[in-house]
Amino acid sequence: MQKAAEIEAPVVIHTETTTPEQCRDLMKMGRDVGLSSDQIVKHFAPPLITFEENFGVVPSVLASRNNIEIALQKGSRFLMETDYIDDPRRPGAVLGPKTVPKITHNMFEKGFLSHKKWENIHQDLPQSTYGIVID
């Protein structure tokens, strides 16, 4: 985190589980070295969307239907991701790269996701977190 703060780059934390307490700890670690919590991305995060749950850390939520429905009920300050699913009961299970667009379109069609939330999740937040421009 210190190196990321020095070069003004975000960090992606990849751990198995996440709790609000862990998000608070990540935020404090970042703050201690001059890294803003909005530059800390928690990969493989559950739908901890509110500030009280994530302390400003950016959750990257696994794009399962249940996770995204819960996340959208709380807000739109989160990223969506796919990943290898490390579940001993489901060896070889993955969420493929088409999952995010499929979930996004499905949530939009069902009225769970507005155009504004869509833009926030897939354009505004990635731009501000990673310092990039998405056209």
Average predicted confidence (pLDDT) for the chain? 94
Residues facing 80 on adjacent strands: 61
pLDDT interval class at 24 (50, 70, 90): very high
Dump pLDDT digits (tens) for 72-122. 999 999 999 997 777 788 777 788 889 999 999 999 999 999 999 999 999
Over residues 53-82, mean pLDDT? 96
Domain boundaries defined on the chain: 2-130
Question: Can you give the C-alpha Rg of the chain in angstroms?
Answer: 15
Q: Extract the tokens encoding 51.
A: 């500030």
Q: How high is the pLDDT of residue 93?
A: 76
Predicted confidence at residue 127, as pLDDT, reads: 97
What pTM value is reported for the model?
0.91
